[in-house]
Amino acid sequence: MQSVSRARVVFCVVLFALASPAAAWEGDVHYGLTKWLATKAGFKPEQAEQIALGNVGFDRSRITDAVLTTIQAACIGVDETAAGQVHDHHFASEITVRNAPTSREVKRGQVYKSKLLQTAPRIKDYQDPGDLRELGEYLHVFQDTWSHEGVPDVPYLCEPDLAWGHPIKRGGWSCHLADQTFYWHVQGGDVLQMAEETYKILVDRKPGSAEYWSNLKAEIDAFAKARSKWEKDAWFDRQGFADRSFLQETSLPDCMEQGRCPGQYPFERLINSWRQYVELSFRPQPGRDRPPAPPGAVALFRDFAAGMWRRATDEVTQRIEQGLAIVTLSRILRVNGTCPDVYAVLMPIMLGDGFAGGWGARMPREYCEFVARSALKEMSCADATELLRSSRPVRIGPDIGTISERVQGLGLPPYVLETVFDARSESSVGFVRFPHLPRDILMLTARGTTNPRITGVAWVPDQ
């Protein structure tokens, strides 16, 4: 890619290439289901716990953060080693980078490294947590070959030969749809097959006697159909999970049917996770040697995030260079041309009541399902606008009014900002995380070193 094009990437903010390589599926599969399957396969509870922690660890570690790694490797800079790590941990196709996305197709049940088909590691010592976690790590990549099956989707103007993202047939790079078991179970039984193949591996590595798979299928079916945190909570409760707090960090809605909703899902773990994340954000991160944004851009990003937290939507939107932001959002939504209507529909939700209420900080499910069904690479302005207008709000996290008192009472900041800078285009990118939305990142761009303005705004999955 020419340097001019790379400058345009940052300027136009279409570098939201961060698809969601790290966590499709999420903790309900990588931790909860994996732990349950391991116990049914004959592992002791403490052994099953280590396998599950090894599995979900790729998604919890900032070192393997797929969002920032992909941007660094394929959008702002060129880092084949980092892009290769994303392949090894999340998109284990036979062909890796640097190659065209069409040659890097992920196939279910096939884990490749260095063009060699990999098998699950043998456990030499069942008392060694390292051996158990290593098996869990393999299972993470193995399970992701279902959720990442297909040709990686690449955002507009990012380096195609290096970037990774959810395939279009799984909803595309900007959507959480690939994470949701209920959708894929209905579409073709992906979850049941993935669980059965996972179970075969665990049984083959088991130290004890295993349940017959036929005795587990009905429960797996119920697990896969569960569409919300409360429904998954009920399933894990039936299986004897005393601690179900890991569900708080998933992108599942609290409820699907509001009339039957028990209420807001607990969020205590979000507070604890936010404290840990804040502490980690002040530590140097290996491999994260990125040029910082100029002070003016940093101040702009901070004021923008603080305004959102205060619900000062009018103040926030006045900081946006609307023309460029419309272009950015149109590209992200795969609109053929520029579409002011999608900006008018989405921006008040993304930055206002939807964000504050814990339900609007992501691409609507109806839009993502349409992309997955049709596999469209482009759509008309009218079609995109209609999809967005017809979407139904579903709560994903707590209202900021509910969580802010707890956050402030602990002396924690209401947001964490990380920035990068591209000197060639004088463009800055800010990544903002908020405590009530652990699976989503707000990405902002600004151009210029003096009196900068926001040129692009979008939410993307943190997976």
218-234 tens-digit pLDDT: 999 999 999 999 999 99
Per-residue pLDDT tens digits for 282-305: 776 555 556 778 999 999 999 999
The pLDDT value given to residue 202 = 98
Q: Is the pLDDT of residue 243 over 70?
A: yes
Of 350, 342, 346, the C-alpha closest to 304 is 350
The pLDDT value given to residue 364 = 86
Dihedrals φ, ψ of 224, to 5°?
-65, -35
Q: Parallel, antiparallel, or unpaired: how do β-strands 116-117 and 416-422 relate?
A: unpaired
Q: Is the pLDDT of residue 18 over 50?
A: no
Q: Band of the pLDDT at 33, cuts 50, 70, 90?
A: very high
Dihedrals φ, ψ of 116, to 5°?
-110, 130
Q: Band of the pLDDT at 7, cuts 50, 70, 90?
A: very low
The single-letter DSSP state of residue 311 is: T
The pLDDT value given to residue 20 = 38
The pLDDT value given to residue 274 = 93
Q: Is the pLDDT of residue 28 over 90?
A: yes
Cα distance between residue 223 and residue 13, in whole Å: 38
375: Cα within 13 Å, side-chain hemisphere: 5
Of 1, 9, 3, the C-alpha closest to 427 is 9
Dihedral Cα 237, 41, 24, 137, nearest 10 deg: 120
Per-residue pLDDT tens digits for 55-107: 998 877 766 666 667 777 777 678 899 899 889 999 999 999 999 999 999 99
Dihedral sign of CA atoms 88, 94, 100, 105 in order:
negative
Q: Is the pLDDT of residue 10 over 80?
A: no
Dihedrals φ, ψ of 139, to 5°?
-65, -30
Q: What is the DSSP string of 29-92?
A: IIIIIHHHHHHHHT--HHHHHHHHHHHHHHHH-STT-HHHHHHHHHTSS--HHHHHHHHHHH--
Please enumerate in sequence order all residues whose Cβ is within 8 A of that of 18, keeping only pairs 6 or more positions apart, or say none: 66, 67, 68, 70, 71, 165, 173, 441, 443, 460, 461
Q: Is the pLDDT of residue 133 over 80?
A: yes
Least confident of 218-227, 256-265, 384-393: 256-265
Rounded average pLDDT over 316-326: 92
Q: Band of the pLDDT at 265, cuts 50, 70, 90?
A: very high
* 337 strand-pairing partners: none
The pLDDT value given to residue 126 = 95
Q: Band of the pLDDT at 16, cuts 50, 70, 90?
A: very low
Q: What is the pTM of this model?
A: 0.88
**Residue 157 or residue 22, greater confidence:** 157
The pLDDT value given to residue 5 = 39
* 412 strand-pairing partners: none
Token pair 């002070």 is found at 295
| Mean pLDDT comparison of 169-173, 240-244, 253-257, 451-455, highest-scoring range | 240-244
The pLDDT value given to residue 62 = 63
In contact, 328 and 455? CB cutoff 8 Å: yes
Give the distance between the most distant pair of CA atoms in the chain: 67
